[in-house]
Amino acid sequence: MGSSFLSSSGFHPVCTTEFVEFARHSDDFKKRDVQLIGLSVDSVPAHIAWIRNINQHFGVDVDFPVIADLDTKVAQKYGLIHPGASETATVRAVFVIDPKANIEL
């Protein structure tokens, strides 16, 4: 597999907009050998509800994995938790990770 996009997100308007666009362009990413991956500190049931909501309101299928990072270990390693604001308030971010697992962007 080539590069990966890791998108930090949650059931919020901005995150939903980003996920809709990633889902709409999923085939374009696949053609470029890019794996899309979502990350959220929300639960799997919340992800299921969110993905269904996206499908119902925007007519797109989210066909890439969304990681439930309930213990925030991944979010913390990527610096995605707002310092001092909350233990679960995440920073919205997108990372481009190359095949050697280096963060490129």
CA distances from 85 to 17, 58, 75, 90 (A): 24, 32, 14, 9
Amino acid 60: pLDDT:
94
Amino acid 80: pLDDT:
79
All domains in the chain, ordered by first residue: 4-97 (3.40.30.10)
Q: List the one residue out of 102, 94, 92, 88 whose CA is nearest residue 6.
A: 94
pLDDT tens-digit map of 45-84? 988 988 998 999 999 999 999 889 888 888 888 887 767 6
State the average pLDDT over residues 24-49.
Answer: 89
pLDDT of residue 23 exceeding 80: yes
Predicted confidence band of residue 87 (pLDDT cuts 50, 70, 90):
low
d(CA 98, CA 100): 5
**Hey, how many other C-beta atoms are within 10 angstroms of the C-beta on 98?**
12
Amino acid 56: pLDDT:
92
Stronger pLDDT, 93 or 19, i.e. the higher one: 19
The answer to whether residue 10 is catalytic is no
| Candidate list 3, 4, 6, 15, residue with the active-site label | 15
The amino acid at residue 59 is G
